[in-house]
Structures are given as structure tokens and as C-alpha cells.
Amino acid sequence: MQQRIPPGFIQDLLARADIVEVVGQHVELKKTGSNYKGLCPFHGEKTPSFTVSAGKQFYHCFGCGVHGTAIGFLMDYAGMGFVDAVKDLAGRYGLTVPEPDLDPQQLRQLQQQRSLHATLVDALQAADNFYQHRLRHSERAKNYLIARGLQGQVAKRFGLGYAPDDWQPLAGAFANYNADALVQSGLVVARDAQGDTLEPQAESFADVQRRYDRLRDRITFPIRNLRGEVIGFGGRIIDQGEPKYLNSPETVVFHKGEELYGLFEARAAISRAGYALVVEGYMDVVALAQFGVEHAVATLGTACTVQQLQKLFRHTGQVVFSFDGDAAGRRAARRAMENALPLLSDTRVVKFLFLPSEHDPDSYVREKGAEAFEREIGRAQPLSEFLFASLFDGVAMATAEGRAQAIHDAGPLFSQIAAPALLGQLLTDFARQLGMPTAELREVLRLSAPARKPVAAAETFGRQPHRSEPRRSGGRHALRTFAAPPDLLRMMLPLLLSQPALWWEIGPAQHALLSQEPSDLQPFVMALESILEDQPGISAAALWETLRDAGHAPEAVLALSPDPLEVDDSTAKQDLFAMLLRLERTGLLRRQDALVAGGLVEDADRAEYRGLALRLREIDQALRAPQTAQW
């Protein structure tokens, strides 16, 4: 059950928190004017473009466009959920998150969930301490790691340990080996009288007849979440045996499709390198780190999932997958590509590295060195090339049937790509290789033609004509000036999100314009109006997080805004008034069209039409004025 933060607490928290202090713990900031600047932690850069505003209490990167509050920074940088980020920030400032308004049963359920999470994490940490201690006292395990070329400091950094070759060695780490938490955390396997294994999330363990450690005679690799908590383990067999790698099972705290081994340790290195390297095994991550390639992470025995990619894209805009060059490696790469397609944007890059068949990253970097490995990464195959190679593999492209097969296979892949520029480039390249017009290919694939791009918000907000530009009026220029963009509401909402006080600069009639404009953003508008009416003095930072807590995504709306730190109050106010006039104008024209469609038979209809025409002339005059008329 998701905890809801009581109204008002977020605003109080953000009023007390200092975003410069929060961000400054992870990013080196230098004061420049009224703001602070540093290297963006979310994409690789050499010139600082990441700006933090102490006055407005939010950050913005002029390089990659990310922006948010102190809470949003913890969510994006540390990978926390909203509630965890609020709790973390509250703890830094000595505040306790109040309990939401829950009935007694819901409150008990929430408290039980928290208690179970804490208990399991404590058990896993105790096991991790035990395994590391046993590694220090096992010559056999240490010799295995030495033979693999690992140094002690690297093993310590990743917390490598050793699970002894016995049935119940963890009995030496826990006072009560029969505790349910050991089964619920995945540390211990429990079987009933029939010999069936009980799942860690079973409702009861009363029927357990036999218990034994899950990991035995294995090198242990603790798997940490982005808060640094141990949530599971991977175990690598020392000698021969199957399975070679054994992971913790799914538990309350561990979901292997959502976690990446080594991400907690690699965050800073990923930021420095500008990309994340995804490999297949724990030993690959550790070996690469020892040779200075510290930005590698590993999937947990499965193909890279959508959830894992989403987590990576919070830290970087570029991901390079490294797979074996054999058939299995290429199948894994194909699944990773398919999972990446819906997440692509015009600024995200995905590449694929296939090493020679006799090597994996571990063996390659040990034999040839880090520089040679990085040269291989530089030659990694872009997703577009791998996509076409996959489509053309085994297809007779010289025949009509082969080309038709490639088009058929491409349809489900291309339909997942939402990045307009990337999709357009892929279609153009694909059409060229097929020998057919791009428009015809779009039609065959049933992909909509690219929409005519409206004037971007960043190009229009606060834009003043250059003094050398001649003033023009009338004719087609006037029509362009007064025509509403395709979705004017999307251009106004970022202004209100950046300057909530503007809500009180306009009257009820203009509030109604916003709430009545047809748009898929209406649920967002209604939530925004409710919050602003309930909390008149709310800050921009608190507004964003209150909207997020209510299930909305302010960052998606803000992505259409200009750089929020560059729009001053007076410019934002003038822009909002002008856009409201255009919004009203659009509504009046719609009403006139409806009256005309009805034939203007009734006197009341004709009188209304004349009244609408009069108001339209007033609006046109106001829009021509150097300073837009205020309400």
C-alpha cells in the first residue's frame, strides 16, 4: 500500500530544506551571481551547465534539460521513490513525516510493511557481514579470487564474501536460525513435510520441516539498492557445479527485474564517463572496476528489462550493452533492444558491443587491458545498425518476398519508438535500403506522418522582437500572430508551475478558460487548480511535489517550458496574459462556427454572434499592442 503524504507537509519540508545543501552533497557547486553551478550529475559534460537556484529552490540543467526540487533530486540521483525521498529529506532536517489519514486496519498494514522491510534488510546486512568475515578466514576462497586476478581492495569495495560449504553456516550468524525472516529474505530455503519448497512470501511457515542455507560454497556478491541497503545476493560457485551463478529469490525487498548489480557503486563513475556499460556477470563488473572501468553494471541473470533501463536513464543518457558474440549473446541483445525502444528519446543513445567469441569483459580486460577494452566500446554498434542487422538477418533482401518480410518484422518495432526525430531518421534509412519512398513505407507500417511542429515554448516565452525587425501588421502575418498553437494549454501550464503566484493575477473567468479547454491535460489542470486554491502561498517546488504525490507528472509538463531559471516574473506574467487572450479567442471562434452551423435563424443567435465579433476585435487590438492588456 502506497503511503500518501498529508497535505501541507511537503510545503513545510521544502520551505525548511535548502536545495543548495542537498545537491551540494553530491555535486560540487560554485556560486555564480544569485545561483550556483556545477557539472550535471545526470549526463557527462566538461563545462558546467547544471544550475541550482537558492531563491526558487529548484535545479535545472541547460545541457540535458532535467529540472526538479530537492525531493526530485533525491528521486533522480539516488533512485528513491517519492515517499522514501520525502522521508530522507525530512530526516536531514529533523522532521518526522506524519502518518496519513488511514483507518486503523490500513495503518496497521502500513506499519507491518515498514517493520518487515526493516527486519529483512537487517537480516541481509548481518548475513553480508558474516560472509565477508568468512572470506577473510578462507584460504580456498581467497585463492580463487586471487587466481581470477582480483585484489583485496576491490573485493572489499564490492563487499565480496564467502558462503561456507555446509548446510547451515548462517546458524553461526543468527541467534534464531528458525526465524521466519531468514526464509522471507531468501537467505534460507524452507521445505515442508512433502519436500516442497516454500516461497519467501508464503503466508505461513508453520509447516517447515527442513531448513538450509541457500548459498553454500560460493563467493557472495551483495546486491544493493540505490540507498546502499543489501537486498539480495548473487553466489558464484568456486569449483565446477551448476548453476554457476545463483541469485536470491524474489522477496519483499528484492525484485531482480528492477535492480542492477553494481549500480550503487557505479553512480559517480557513470556520471563522469557519460554512459553506463551493461554486462552480463558480477565478475565482469568487479574485474572491470579493478582495471579502472568503474561505470559497469550487470543484469541479474535475465535480459535487461524496461524497469532496469528506466533506472539507468535516470543517471545517464547513453547505455552501452556488452554481450558475448555467440547466438545466445545476440538473442539477449535483441531482447534488450526491444525493451529499449519505448524508452528512446532524441537525446538518448543505446549501443551494442560484441566481443570476440573467446572473450567476455572479464577475460578481455585482463588479457588486453582497459585501453583496448575502451577502444572496443568506441566501436560499439549503434542501436539503429543493430536494429537493421536484426531485421535483415536471414532475409533475402534481393527479393520482393524478403523485403516484405523485413517490413512485416519492422512494424512492431518501429511502432514502439516515440522519439520523432529518431523515428524519422530510421524510416528514411530503412526506406532507402528497401528502395521505396519514405511516405509509402509509413503508410505500409501504419505510422502516422510527423505532426507539423508548433513553435516551441522556449522559442516564444518572453521573446522580445529584435529592434532591427520591422514591425508588421495585417494580412497573413496578423493571422499567424493571433492563431493559437495546436495545444496552447501545454504552453501555459509551465508558467503556472514555475510562477504559482500568477494564478492570483488572473480572475475566475480566466481560470474557467483553463479548465474548459479541450485537452488530455484536463486532469492535471483540475489537480493544479485544487492545490492552488487550497494553498494560496505555495512555492513552485512544493507545488511540483504535491502534484507528484497526487499521481501527476509535473516534469512532463515542465519539459515543454523554457529554462525555468531564465524566465523572470514580469515576462512570465506578460506571456500568460497574451496566451490567455489567444485561448479566449480560440474559444470564441469555435462558438461562432457553431452558431453559423446552426444557420443564425434566431435573433438571440445573431445577437450573440455580433457580441462575439466585438470581443474578438478587442482581443485582436490587445494582441497588437506592444504590452498585452492585463485582466
Beta strands in 226-317 (DSSP E): 230-237, 245-247, 276-279, 296-298
**Predicted pLDDT at 559:** 63
pTM to 2 decimal places? 0.67
CATH code assigned at 502: 1.10.860.10
CATH code assigned at 341: 3.40.1360.10
| Burial degree of 335 (CB within 10 A; 0-12, 13-18, 19+) | middle
Identify whether residues 536 and 600 lie together within a single domain: yes
**Predicted pLDDT at 438:** 92
Cell of 179: 526465524
| Amino acid type, 485 | P
Identify whether residues 338 and 430 lie together within a single domain: no
Residue pair 235/220 in contact (Cβ under 8 Å)? The answer is yes
Q: Is residue 256 assigned to a domain?
A: no
Q: Is residue 631 assigned to a domain?
A: no
Those residues of the chain that have pLDDT short of 70 are 1-4, 6-7, 99-102, 448-487, 559-570, 625-631
Identify whether residues 219 and 174 lie together within a single domain: yes
Cell of 461: 516565452
| H or E element that contains 273 | helix 263-273
Q: Running DSSP on this structure, what letter comes out for residue 343?
A: G
**Predicted pLDDT at 533:** 83
Identify whether residues 550 and 524 lie together within a single domain: yes
Q: Is residue 17 assigned to a domain?
A: yes
Q: Is residue 454 assigned to a domain?
A: no
What pLDDT, in 10s, does the model give residues 185-243? 999 999 998 999 999 998 889 889 999 999 999 999 999 998 889 999 999 999 888 88
**Predicted pLDDT at 102:** 67
Identify whether residues 363 and 413 lie together within a single domain: no
| H or E element that contains 60 | strand 58-61
Non-local CB neighbours of 344 within 8 Å, separated by 6+ positions: 350, 383, 417, 418, 419, 422
Distance CA 544, CA 554 (A): 6
Identify whether residues 376 and 304 lie together within a single domain: yes
Report the number of distinct structural domains present in the chain.
5
CATH code assigned at 187: 3.90.980.10
**Predicted pLDDT at 368:** 92
**Predicted pLDDT at 458:** 35
Beta carbons within 10 angstroms of residue 412's beta carbon: 11
Q: Is residue 102 assigned to a domain?
A: no
Domain boundary among 247, 274, 306: 247
Cell of 570: 514580469
Identify whether residues 231 and 269 lie together within a single domain: no
Domain boundary among 92, 126, 151: 92
Identify whether residues 591 and 510 lie together within a single domain: yes
Identify whether residues 431 and 374 lie together within a single domain: no
Distance CA 497, CA 544 (A): 7
Q: Is residue 2 assigned to a domain?
A: no
Identify whether residues 552 and 586 lie together within a single domain: yes
SS3 for 171-211 is: HHCCCCCCCHHHHHCCCEEEECCCCCECCCCCCCCCCCCEE
Q: Is residue 200 assigned to a domain?
A: yes
Residue pair 527/550 in contact (Cβ under 8 Å)? The answer is yes
Which residue range(s) make up the domain with 334?
263-388
Identify whether residues 492 and 615 lie together within a single domain: yes
Identify whether residues 383 and 401 lie together within a single domain: no
Q: Is residue 462 assigned to a domain?
A: no
Query: What does the longest C-alpha to C-alpha distance in the chain come to?
Result: 100
Residue pair 7/86 in contact (Cβ under 8 Å)? The answer is no
Domain boundary among 92, 125, 148: 92
